[in-house]
Every structure is written in C-alpha cells, then in structure tokens.
C-alpha cells in the first residue's frame, strides 16, 4: 500500500499524488499508477481526480480523509455541483467516489463550458514563498487552477503560467510543483474588482455542498431582477440588466473571462441566465452577475441557502392567471403576412417575435390553429453529388494504395482512417459509407484487426532475424515487434510459438 502524504489545506489531489512520486523516487508514471491505483490506465486529472475510495484507503480510515472529504476539499467539484441539476451532480459524485470510470468533466459542464479551463498549470509566487516557509515545500493549490480566472485570491496577483501542459500528451503523469517548473518572472497586481471576484470564487470552494434544482435558479433570478426593479409586469428588462453588468465590469474585463455580452444576440448568456434555466451555467457567470448586483455585500453561503429553499417551479411568486382573449384583426393580418413570407419559425427569427408573443398571450387558440395550418411541407433534399461515380473513383485510389503497401511490412495498421488518409481521400467521406458501397466492401475485406496487425509485426521481426542469420528467441522477437505479454493477443502468441519451434527444427 502506498504511503500517500497528508494533503495540505487547499491542495489538489493531483499535487498529493505528484508529491508521493517525489518522496518514493518514482520516475515512471505507470509505476506510480500501479502503486496508488493498481491500474495503469488511470488518467491524471487536475480538476476531478477519480477513484477516491482507493486514494482514501491509503490513509487507513483517517476520519478527516474520507472519499467525500477529499472530493469537497481537494478537487474543483464544489465549484460545479451547486449549479448543475441535483441528479447530474449526484451521478458525477458517485462515479468520482467509487472505483469506476467517470465522465465528470462532461457531466458537470466543464468540457463544453463557455468559461474555458487553463491549458497550463499556474502558480502564485507569493503563495509559493509562503508554502515553503510554512510547510518546507511547495504544492499545487486549488485556487490557482480556477477556470476563467488567472488571479490569486490570497494576494490579488496575476498567476504565472508554468510549462506544465494539461493535455492528452501527459495524461497519465502527475507532475509536482518543483523548482524546475517555476519561472523567474514577477507577478502583476490585478484590479480590486477582479481580486474580489477571485476571493468570492475561493469562498465558493470552501462552502458546504448544496443541491439546487435548475427551476430554483430560474425562480431566484426572476426574483433578483424584480427586487432591483428590472421587471415590468412579467417581463424581465434584459437591456437594463446588461447595462448594469457592462457598466460594472466593462467590455474588456468580460472578454478576458470569455463572457462577452452581445446585445444583438437574443440568446446571449446573460439573457439566458435570467430566463428559465434549460442548461447549467458556470460558477463564473453566476459570480460576475452577483458581484455586479451586490458588490461587497455578497454573502455566498446565504445566497445558496436561500436558493435551495425556493420552490421548484418557474416564477412561483407570480400568481398564475389566464390572459383574456383579445381579437386584434390588424395583428392577425400582420402575422398572416409574415408567416406567408417567412414561415412560422422564420417569422419569429426575423424580428416578429414580439408579435408572436402578444398573440400567444391574448389570442392563443387562433394562433395555434393558424400556425398548424401554415406548416410548410418539407422538401426532399436533392443530392448534388454523383455518389456512384465518387465511389468508383475512391475505390480505385484504395486499390492502387493496397497494391503498393500490401508487401510493405513496415507500414502502419491498415485501419479505415489510415487507408483513407494515405489514399488522399478526404476524411469527411467516411461519414457517408452508406453511399459508397464499393469502398465499404473494400474496407471490410482489407482493414486489419489488432490480431492481424500484431501478426504482421511478428513476421517482420522474424524476417529481420533470419536475414541477419540470428537465432529466433521469443523475447527478442517481441521486443523488436514492440509487443509485450500483456498486449499480445492469444492467437499472436500461438503464431510466435510456431515460428520459434519451426526455426529450431
């Protein structure tokens, strides 16, 4: 069992495992995964390190280092969980705590978020100095890796980017914060507003877990707009809200957060935030709006508690009532003209959404009947591509390629992608194989399975040894072929055994 170091306050689990590799003198990423997880396929995640039950087991029942406490105190999970649907948060949490594969980055919205995560690990030089002075070593802190924010919450300084890339290139490697990744550059102080925003984000990381439904967020933002006088009747004045947010932050600051507000776009993120929530929003989108509304009077714990107590219904505080039927022949005629010109959906996107809303509220029965009778018949799409001719052209290119490479044992595995690429066929054509029957038949016949590709590599190694008049040894053939006992398929191992016995006889 690996003797993992106890995490420091606000330290990422990624950093804890990286420090253990330094203490144990482990230089091989695969060996580190073997010791910590007993699994060489674990991916090193900065934001959401999974398999927390295995990590917690290394602390032998320490009550302060349970899987749930590791999740809340040493990952970025608290930054996302309050703002996604409770069922999604619960599913992601279950996958992170257990020893199964997880898709937390997708489930919690990190992968597709408008607010992008950093591509490189970052640090604050003042924090590093304080860490070395207090603990005798430096480590990766959570507050340095917040999506969209490159500011230290403790010192209000811009973070410095290290050469450590967070990507697929080193996805199994845990890299510690050591002197060789620190850069000799001075940090710059940020503005008071951005420093305050970073402090709020740090505060959010340390709050207890709250499960909040998306309808509760919808109700909260409607009430928030109403309290500040941004609601007229039942309609939210989105332009006034945009004026407030833009006036507080400024266009350039919002652009630095990747939160540009396009007033011409009816579906910009700020408008969607004050509408019914059909998707989750990033923590930074929420904090940017809250700080613009409350500034220094922002109490995150109080806000999350109040939202969690709201009813799970949209605009619950507004009494529901049926609008009286008003027959306005002028509006009916205008709607008939624009629908005849643009269609029902096109009319709403061509600037007549207000007319549609008025008719929906006051003359709904007539509007629905008219729209159903005005649905344009779908026109069958006429293909502009001669697929049979293209099929014959591509299969000829593939046959010419196969004639050249079928005797070349050094070529890569003959997959669909490999063949299409080397035959100079656009990769996009693979999506239309149902229209290319000859190409599809070619791929079914000539594409190599893993077993076939490994057999070809074994044959290549044997030919090389025979040309050099060297004795065939199984371990030498596997090494030259780039195979191992773990990766070699059973049928390939059987072929290797036949080759060694044949040479011996």
Closest by Cα among 202, 79, 110, 204 to 152: 202
CA distances from 91 to 95, 104, 281, 389, 447 (A): 6, 9, 18, 49, 39
Strand partners, 236: 231
Backbone angles phi, psi at 411, to 5 degrees: -75, 160
Contacts of 35 (CB under 8 A, 6+ apart): 2, 24, 26
pLDDT of residue 168: 62
> Residue 122 in contact with residue 161, Cβ under 8 Å?
yes
For residues 142 and 483, what is the distance between their CA atoms, to the nearest angstrom?
Answer: 40
pLDDT of residue 358: 85
What b/e sequence results for 355-375 when a residue is b if at least 16 CB atoms lie within 10 Å of its CB, and e otherwise?
A: bbebbeebbeeebeebbeeee
Host H or E run for residue 455: helix 450-467
Closest by Cα among 56, 6, 2 to 25: 2
Backbone angles phi, psi at 236, to 5 degrees: -80, 130
Closest by Cα among 74, 76, 93 to 85: 93
Per DSSP, the three-state class of 399 is helix
The encoded tokens of residue 433 equal: 């194989």
Half-sphere exposure of 422 (CA within 13 A, CB side): 17
> Residue 122 in contact with residue 160, Cβ under 8 Å?
yes
> Residue 123 in contact with residue 160, Cβ under 8 Å?
yes
Task: Say what angle helices 214-227 and 300-308 make with each other, to 10 degrees.
Answer: 120
Conformational region of residue 111, where left means phi above 0, alpha means psi within -120 to 50, and beta covers everything else: alpha
pLDDT of residue 380: 59
pLDDT in tens, 302-333: 999 999 998 876 554 444 445 677 888 999 99
Backbone angles phi, psi at 259, to 5 degrees: -120, 50
Task: Say what angle helices 450-467 and 474-481 make with each other, to 10 degrees.
Answer: 110
Conformational region of residue 3, where left means phi above 0, alpha means psi within -120 to 50, and beta covers everything else: beta
For residues 366 and 82, what is the distance between their CA atoms, to the nearest angstrom?
Answer: 42
Instruction: Rounding to the nearest 10 degrees, give the CA dihedral for residues 341, 345, 347, 349.
Output: -130
The encoded tokens of residue 3 equal: 């003797």
DSSP state string for 104-172: HHHHTTSTT-SSPPPSEEEE-HHHHHHHHHHHSS---BGGGS-TT--B-TTT-BB-EEEEEE-SSTTTT
pLDDT of residue 190: 87
Contacts of 438 (CB under 8 A, 6+ apart): 391, 392, 394, 395
For residues 247 and 420, what is the distance between their CA atoms, to the nearest angstrom?
Answer: 53
For residues 395 and 442, what is the distance between their CA atoms, to the nearest angstrom?
Answer: 7
pLDDT of residue 321: 47
Contacts of 284 (CB under 8 A, 6+ apart): 115, 147, 148, 149, 201, 257, 259
pLDDT of residue 318: 43
Going residue by residue through the chain, which has 505 residues, state the pLDDT in tens, using 9 for 90 and above: 568 899 999 999 999 999 999 999 998 989 999 889 888 888 888 989 888 898 998 888 777 889 999 999 999 999 999 999 999 999 999 999 987 777 888 888 888 888 888 889 999 999 999 999 999 999 999 999 999 999 998 888 999 998 888 876 678 889 999 888 887 777 788 889 999 999 999 999 999 988 999 999 999 999 888 888 888 888 899 999 999 999 999 999 999 999 999 888 888 999 999 998 888 999 999 999 999 988 777 889 999 999 999 887 655 444 444 567 788 899 999 999 999 888 888 887 787 878 887 888 788 889 988 988 877 666 655 667 888 999 999 999 999 998 888 767 677 888 999 999 999 998 888 888 889 999 999 999 999 888 888 888 888 888 888 888 888 888 788 888 878 777 777 888 787 777 777 655 5
Domain definitions of the chain by residue range: 13-181, 212-308, 329-373, 387-448, 451-504
Beta strands in 203-267 (DSSP E): 231-232, 235-236
The encoded tokens of residue 208 equal: 């207890």
Instruction: Enter the pTM of the model.
Output: 0.65
Half-sphere exposure of 326 (CA within 13 A, CB side): 11
The single-letter DSSP state of residue 264 is T
> Residue 429 in contact with residue 394, Cβ under 8 Å?
yes
For residues 378 and 390, what is the distance between their CA atoms, to the nearest angstrom?
Answer: 28
The encoded tokens of residue 116 equal: 């992008």
pLDDT in tens, 376-400: 666 655 667 888 999 999 999 999 9
């Amino acid at each position: 069992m690996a003797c993992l170091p106890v995490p420091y306050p606000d330290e990422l689990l990624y950093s804890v495992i990286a420090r253990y590799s330094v203490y144990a003198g482990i230089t091989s990423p695969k060996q580190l995964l073997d010791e910590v997880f007993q699994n060489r396929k674990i991916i090193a995640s900065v934001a959401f390190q999974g398999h927390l039950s295995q990590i917690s087991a290394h602390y032998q029942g320490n009550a302060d280092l349970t899987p749930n406490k590791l999740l809340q105190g040493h990952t970025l999970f608290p930054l996302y969980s309050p703002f996604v649907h409770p069922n999604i948060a619960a599913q992601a949490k279950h996958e992170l705590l257990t020893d199964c594969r997880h898709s937390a980055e997708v489930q919690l919205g990190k992968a597709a978020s408008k607010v992008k995560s950093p591509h490189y690990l970052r640090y604050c030089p003042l924090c590093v100095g304080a860490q070395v002075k207090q603990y005798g070593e430096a480590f990766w802190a959570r507050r340095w890796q917040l999506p969209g924010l490159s500011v230290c919450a403790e010192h209000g300084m811009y973070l410095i980017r290290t050469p450590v890339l967070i990507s697929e290139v080193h996805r199994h490697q845990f890299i510690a914060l050591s002197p060789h990744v620190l850069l000799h550059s001075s940090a710059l102080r940020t503005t008071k507003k951005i420093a305050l925003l970073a402090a709020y984000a740090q505060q959010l990381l340390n709050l207890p877990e709250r499960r909040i439904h998306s309808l509760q967020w919808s109700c909260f933002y409607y009430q928030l707009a109403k309290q500040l006088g941004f609601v007229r009747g039942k309609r939210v004045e989105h332009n006034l809200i945009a004026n407030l947010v833009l006036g507080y932050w400024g266009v350039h600051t919002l652009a630095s957060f990747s939160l540009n507000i396009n007033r011409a776009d009816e579906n910009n993120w700020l408008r969607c935030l004050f509408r019914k929530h059909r998707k989750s929003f990033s923590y930074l989108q929420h904090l940017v709006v809250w700080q613009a509304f409350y500034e220094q009077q922002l109490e995150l714990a109080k806000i999350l508690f109040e939202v969690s107590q709201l009813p799970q219904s949209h605009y619950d505080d507004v009494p529901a009532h049926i609008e009286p039927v008003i027959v306005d022949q002028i509006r009916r005629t205008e709607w008939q003209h624009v629908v005849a010109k643009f269609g029902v959906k096109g009319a709403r996107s061509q600037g007549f959404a207000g007319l549609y809303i008025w008719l929906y509220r006051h003359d709904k029965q007539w509007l629905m009947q008219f729209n159903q009778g005005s649905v344009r018949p779908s026109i069958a799409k006429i293909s502009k591509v001669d697929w049979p001719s293209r099929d014959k052209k591509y299969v000829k290119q593939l046959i010419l390629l196969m004639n050249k490479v079928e005797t070349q044992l050094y070529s890569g595995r003959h997959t669909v992608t490999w063949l299409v690429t080397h035959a100079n066929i656009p990769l996009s054509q693979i999506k239309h194989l149902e229209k290319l029957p000859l190409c599809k038949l070619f791929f079914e016949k000539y594409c190599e399975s893993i077993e076939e590709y490994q057999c070809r590599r074994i044959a290549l190694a044997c030919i090389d040894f025979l040309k050099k008049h060297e004795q065939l040894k199984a371990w030498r053939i596997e090494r030259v072929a780039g195979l191992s006992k773990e990766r070699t398929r059973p049928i390939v191992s059987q072929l290797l055994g036949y080759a060694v016995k044949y040479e011996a006889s």
